[in-house]
Structure 1
Amino acid sequence: MASSTHQTSRGLPWLLSLPALALFLALLAIPLVLTAILSFNAFDGMRGIQQSYGFGNYLEILLDGYYREIFLRTGGMALAVTLICIVLGVPETLILAKMKPVWRGTFFVVILGPLLISVVVRTLGWSVLLGSQGVVNTVLRGLGLVDEPIRLLFSMTGVIIVLTHVFLPFMVIAVWSAMQRLDGQIEHAARSLGAGPFTTFRRIMLPQLMPGILSGAIIVFALAASAYATPAIIGGRRVKVVATTLYDEFFNSLNWPLGAAIAVLLLLANILIIVGCNRLVERRFKQVFA
């Protein structure tokens, strides 16, 4: 009797997780598997998707310099957005931690504001700001910093600016969560023992904030690498990234197998880069701060 009760208690967590597992399989795992299977289908411009299978789509992507350039451009864009979010997000979170609770709540609302607005509406607003006659160029010319409008719209620079604005809240949230686990007395103890502000931050606070920075960087990189609306609206046809190329293959060329192969490679590249960088950074910081 006791044995059966013990087995039931052990199986209860699995039983309770079945609805969530079924939802996960239905909404994520099954579509991914079907997309992976579709990526192996052959495609004919006249007859559409063929029932023959092979690695032709993957070979076309890997051997064609056009697609390699798009993947490298997308990786560089995502890396730039991630680094800028780290540089801006960590000090911003430290400043928030020093604020009084009333001001802290107000500034949190301001920082999280971009997440409360539709991505399309937000991006269209940025397209007005970054245009040749937009607010940014008007201010720069009014201050005498430039003589002619800077091309920010339909450029990679504009895309990076807008993506940074969109994804900075994710970095702030991740670093803030790590900061809540810090013991403020350790910082005061380090300062009382003669450590300066920079040394205290580098030797005491930064190692403890690294889990939050890493998690925020992973989130920002993955979202930036797969972003579609912002590169499509701000970058236009001039800036081709993986997401916009994927859209073109599915809805313009109607080459679904090639589009599916691009999607699978984007997913695999994201996973490999994120896992590799995570392990590399963790190993380096263990060596430095050990």
Structure 2
Amino acid sequence: MSASKATPWWLSGPALVLFTALLLVPLLLTTVLSFNAYDPATGVKAGEFTLEHYAHVFTDDYYYGIFWRTFWISGLVTLICVAVGAPEAYILSRMGKPWRSILLLVVLAPLLVSVVVRAFGWSMLLGPEGLVNSGLKLVGLGPVRMLYTEVAVVVALVHVMLPFMVIPVWTSLQKLDPGVENAALSLRASPFTTLRRIVLPQVLPGILSGSLIVFGLSASAFAIPGLLGGRRLKMVATVVYDEYLHELNWPLGAAIALTLLVANLVVMLSYNRLVEGRYKKSLG
């Protein structure tokens, strides 16, 4: 291999070593652990391998319910983030200074606060005596149970994940020349047609990227479901935590975690292929 061809490998070598050491090796060790036998009396049996943990996950209705809850909540959070984040990014891209910087700071502000702090903040707002229920009492709607329900988890996850939708869409809009929109409008195209035929195809890659990020982070979220969902409303990440630290059944926890990883990849790759196919058709 010539020096010119080897240069990219030498430059990317440190990043590849770091990627291997911090991601691939732990993932491989977790995979091996998921096949280890487990005895409640003695713990993990390192020399014995079994498929019992995967069989337990795939045949127990309890885990079906956990995975279903995890993915429908993640899908709903993604849809809400698209519905709110895409128009917000469009408005942000059309703003002038200094309002653009101010709104961008407002969008990014949640990222400056710990997820745990935000979760406790929402627990205070959505609690029985919180600000939301106090407002409902004033209008005569009475207290509504929101804390430790899917509603609280979805609301908090949307708050946490919204910046991850706004920023990719806003970045895509930076590549759109406003003159193209003005040209369409000058040719007597309606604002809706301009938005559908000109703007939407340009922002679709940003929406795709943001959706994948939001869905993946929501499906693997731990702090928000753990603090706002309570002990009864479990998602996959909280179940993995319980298996590792409460039940001490590390192989079963590893099997659940890897099942979530594979399911996440299947959903995200399928969604990516679907949206990219429509994006190419719109360009064609």
How does the TM-score come out when normalised to structure 1?
A: 0.95
CA distance in 2, matches of 1:275, 1:76: 17
Instruction: For 2:11 and 2:94, locate their aligned partners in 1 and report how far apart those are by CA, in whole Å.
Output: 42
Q: In 2, distance between residues paired with 1:81 and 1:116?
A: 21
Q: More deviation in 113-122 or 45-54?
A: 45-54
Give the match's secondary structure for 2:188: coil
- 1:189 corresponds in structure 2 to 183
Question: Which of 29, 36, 39 is the equivalent residue of 1:34?
Answer: 29
CA–CA separation in structure 2 for the residues paired with 1:105 and 1:142: 36
Amino acid at match of 2:130: G
Contact 1:155 1:238 in 2 (8 A): no
**Aligned twin of 2:42:** 47
Alignment of 1:109 with 2:76, yes or no, is: no
In structure 2, what is the Cα distance between the partners aligned to 1:197 and 1:152?
Answer: 39
Match of 2:68 among 65, 68, 72: 72
Q: 2:227 is matched with which residue?
A: 233
- Aligned CA-pair RMSD: 1.2
Distance 1:150 1:101 in 2: 42
Q: 1:251 aligns with which of 224, 245, 269?
A: 245
The CA distance in 1 between the partners of 2:15 and 2:86, in whole Å, is: 34
Equivalence map 1:258-277=2 (5 Å): 258-277=252-271
Query: 1:182-230 CA distances to partner (integer Å, 9 max, x unpaired)?
Result: 1111111111111111111111110110000000000000000000000
**Residues 203 and 289, structure 1, Cα contact 8 Å, conserved in 2:** no
How far apart in 2 are the matches of 1:98 and 1:16? 39
Equivalent-residue separation in structure 1 for 2:216 and 2:144 (angstroms): 29
Matched, 1:87 2:92: no
Code of the aligned partner of 2:243: E
Cα offsets for 1:130-187 (capped at 9, x unmatched): 101101111122233x1x2111110011100000000000100010110111111111
Of 54, 57, 80, which residue of structure 2 is paired with 1:61?
A: 57
**Alpha-carbon deviations, 1:70-111, whole Å to 9, x = none?**
001100010000000000001111111222210111111111
Matched, 1:209 2:203: yes
Query: What is the distance in 1 between the residues matched to 2:106 and 2:247?
Result: 41
TM superposition score normalised by structure 2? 0.97
Offset from partner CA, 1:54-84 (integer Å, 9 cap, x none): 2111111001000011001100010000000
SS at match of 1:83: helix
Q: Contact 2:201/2:282 (CA < 8 Å) preserved in 1?
A: no
2:13 match: 18
- Counterpart in the other structure of 1:141: 137
Deviation of 1:289 after TM superposition, in Å, equals 5.5
Residue ranges of structure 2 left out of the alignment (5+ in a row): none
Aligned-partner SS, 1:100: coil
> Conserved in 1, the CA contact under 8 Å of 2:93 and 2:174?
no
Identity between Structure 1 and Structure 2 (%): 52
- Tell me the CA shift for residue 16 of structure 1: 1.8
Gaps of 5+ in 1: 1-5
Aligned to 1:286: 280
Q: How many residues align?
A: 283
